[in-house]
Every structure is written in C-alpha cells, then in structure tokens.
Amino acid sequence: MFETLQSQPADKILALMQMYRDDPREDKIDLGVGVYKDPTGLTPVMRAVKAAEHRIWEAQDTKVYTGLVGDPAFSDAMIGLVLDGAVPRDTVAAAATPGGTGAVRQAFEMVRMARPGARVFVSDPTWPNHLSILKYLGIEVVNYRYFDGDTGGVDFDGMAEDIGKAEAGDVVLLHGCCHNPTGANLNPSEWDAVIKILQKTGATPMIDIAYQGFGDGLAEDAAATRKIAAAVPECLIAASCSKNFGIYRERTGLLMAIAADPSARKLNQDTLAFLNRQNYSFPPDHGARVVTTILNDDDLRADWKAELEEVRNTMLAIRTQLAEELQALSGSDRFGFLGQHRGMFSRLGTTPEKVEELRTKHGIYMVGDSRMNIAGLNRQTVPILAKAIIDVGI
C-alpha cells in the first residue's frame, strides 16, 4: 500500500546540518540550526535543570500517567511565567504539549474544530513549520507583510494594512518576541496598534512565544503577549520551554486558550484534553516536571534566571560586535539592524546565491533565506563572518 506515498520536501535546515557535518574544512562556521550555543560551541544543560533533574530522580517514586493535559502544577507555573496575572486565572485553559511545536499544532487543530473555514494570517516570512502544519491541516493561510528588506526592520504599515483585512472567525498568528526567522520585532507602540486592529476586526490572536528571555528579558519579552491577552476576549498562546530552559529534546510546551469569561473556560479545557487524547494521549512529563521544579523553587528559579541572562547577554554582545565590525568594514550603517534585532536569529537580507557563496567560499553555513543563528558565533568568528559578508559583496 505504501507505494502510493509521495516523497515530502526535505527539511532544509536538517539538510544544511548534514552538509556542514560533511564539510572537512576546520574553520567552517555553522549558523544554521536554531539551538543556543555557548562561545565554545556547546549547547549546555543549564545548572538549574541539572539540579532539578537530580531532585526529581531522588524524589520520584512512580512513573504512572499524569493527566491528559499534563500536571496542573506545570500549567500553573507556566501560566505564571508567561502571563503573570495579566488575565484572570479562571479564564485560562491549558494543556501540556510535546514542545512548542505540539502547542502550535494543537492550537491550529482547535481553531479548525471551532471554525472549519477559519483563515490564519501569518507574517511573511514566518517559521516554516507554521506553514507546513497549516497546509497539512488544510487550513487557509493569508500572508501579511512583515519584513522590510531595505531597512532590516518591520514593514509596520504593510503589516497593519494586511492584518486589518482579517475578520471575526479568522486567526492572526503573532510571534510574541524574537521573531523567527527575521529577528525583527515590533516596538511597544506598534504592539498597541496591533491590539487596536484586533479589537476592531474581532479576529482572534494566536501568539507563538518560543524565546521568552532571549530578547530583552523575561518580563519584557512577554509584555506584548500579556497586553494582547488582557485586551481581547479570546486568545491562544503556544509557549515553548525548549530554548529558555535548554531542554530541546525533552519536548516541553504549553498551549493556553484564554476565554472571554470563566464560564467558557470549561469547554476550552475539555477540548484541549480531547485533542491531546486524539493525538498522543498523555503529554511528556519529564521536561514539564523539571520546569515546574525550577519555577516553584526560589533558589533554582534565581539560578535559572541568572544563567538565562548570561545566555541573552552573550547573544546581545555578539550582535553589537557584528554590527560594529560591519560598520567599520563597509563604512556605512546599513548593517545596523543586526544590533537592533533580538533573539537567536537575524535575517541578513541577501540572495540565495550570496548565501551559497558564503558556504562554498568561506565555509559559512546559513539558511537559504539568509537567516543566521547569532548564537553560532563567538568573539573570534564574528570578524571572520564580517569579512566574508563584505568579500562576497553583500
């Protein structure tokens, strides 16, 4: 029977990773896959994660199933981290999911169940997996303008005009912070304008927040999410713990569905439980338990926050250094946007041919749309990248 299957397009980033591994050059630089790396190139297990795992290992006396939406303590801890009381707790339904991807997938499924004809408005560009999941689920996608190739920032007028065309029953997908793949983000007054548009159109926001703590700080990165959630009647939020806790492979995420009032919460909660049941039944527990242990313990939480700040500041320092090197080499401010971007990624804004040239000539690997993982750099490799960028004529 399987001969009827059609081969699916290969994941470009995974293919790039393989090419990088096969490249014998010793000075090659990997700016492809989206994981944080410290200046030595390692993706470390965070100190608080190790400590929490140790505690869990000692205290855990059963591995019996948790609940269909995971351990309620995990939901409480994450709702606190993301929303910090922005909306009444009794309006928030939540389900633990396998990573942020699981939360995104379940959110789209919930939308499709509630409104079979709903359209989802997505930024151009967005994380490719948004598009591929939407396509797989047969949900109509509408692009809204987002990245301005000339400035390296956000084309906010274009965005505002495009999301203004959404209607009640449609969904507007927003990146809560640290936009992937561009690194370009809205400023607070632009977020306020987005809120006005959402209120006017009646479209439902869905916020994907996968990098809280990687941009301007834990509270700062969640500020837009909190403000939106408080300002509209209904909202979906897909949160990932992969990056900010460094627990990528543990598959830890939370989907939140905020209802207009507490009486509507139960239906949302039951729907989330139903969706988990259909797709994988009980969500993974280990990463969720690690996160709960850290967030609910003053010492572990403080240590986690301190280490996350180190990670954030490391990436900011690289950004600043890269923008400065490029300014010196090019004699212009045209790369200044790299210092303004936030999070792990920046879109350099060049052609696939130049990206290819960086790879073949200089052993520098980035995604074809010129997305660079800033964390793939360190103090020594920043000048090498800057020279290569100028050398290939970007």
CB 180 within 8 A of CB 34: yes
209/326 with CB nearer ligand PMP:
209
Tokens 């001969």 sit at which residue? 3
Judged by CB under 6 A, which stretch of 94-102, 226-234, 332-340, 373-381 contacts ligand PMP?
Answer: 94-102
Alpha helices in 232-351 (DSSP H): 262-279, 286-295, 298-330, 337-340
Whole-angstrom distance, CA of residue 298 vs CA of residue 289: 16
Whole-angstrom distance, CA of residue 332 vs CA of residue 260: 50
Residues with a known catalytic role: 127, 208, 210, 243
Tokens 């946007």 sit at which residue? 337
Kindly state whether residue 97 participates in binding ligand PMP, applying the rule CB under 6 A: no
Judged by CB under 6 A, which stretch of 45-53, 83-91, 96-104, 349-357 contacts ligand PMP?
Answer: 96-104
Report the candidate in 339, 221, 349, 242 with the shortest Cα–Cα distance to residue 291. 242
Q: Look at phi and psi of residue 151 and say left if phi exceeds 0, alpha if psi is from -120 to 50, else beta.
A: alpha
99/339 with CB nearer ligand PMP:
99
Helix (H, G, I), strand (E, B) or coil at 185: coil
| Residue least distant from ligand PMP (Cβ) | 99
Kind plus residue range of the DSSP H or E element containing 38: none
Helix (H, G, I), strand (E, B) or coil at 367: coil
**Interface pick for ligand PMP out of 66, 101, 271, 314 (rule CB under 6 A):** 101
Give the per-residue contact string, 112-131, with ligand PMP (x = CB under 6 A; - = no).
Answer: ---------------x----
Kindly state whether residue 287 participates in binding ligand PMP, applying the rule CB under 6 A: no
Alpha helices in the chain (DSSP H): 12-22, 47-59, 72-83, 99-114, 128-136, 156-163, 188-201, 218-231, 262-279, 286-295, 298-330, 337-340, 352-362, 381-391
13/273 with CB nearer ligand PMP:
13
Report the candidate in 132, 129, 108, 127 with the shortest Cα–Cα distance to residue 119. 108
Kindly state whether residue 240 participates in binding ligand PMP, applying the rule CB under 6 A: yes
Which 6-65 positions form the footprint of ligand PMP (CB under 6 A)? 34
344/382 with CB nearer ligand PMP:
344
Give the per-residue contact string, 158-187, with ligand PMP (x = CB under 6 A; - = no).
Answer: -----------------x----x-------
User: Closest approach of Cβ 263 to ligand PMP, in Å?
Assistant: 31
User: Closest approach of Cβ 179 to ligand PMP, in Å?
Assistant: 8
Kindly state whether residue 253 participates in binding ligand PMP, applying the rule CB under 6 A: yes
Kindly state whether residue 100 participates in binding ligand PMP, applying the rule CB under 6 A: yes
Residues that bind ligand PMP (CB under 6 A): 34, 99-101, 104, 127, 175, 180, 208, 210, 240, 242, 248, 253
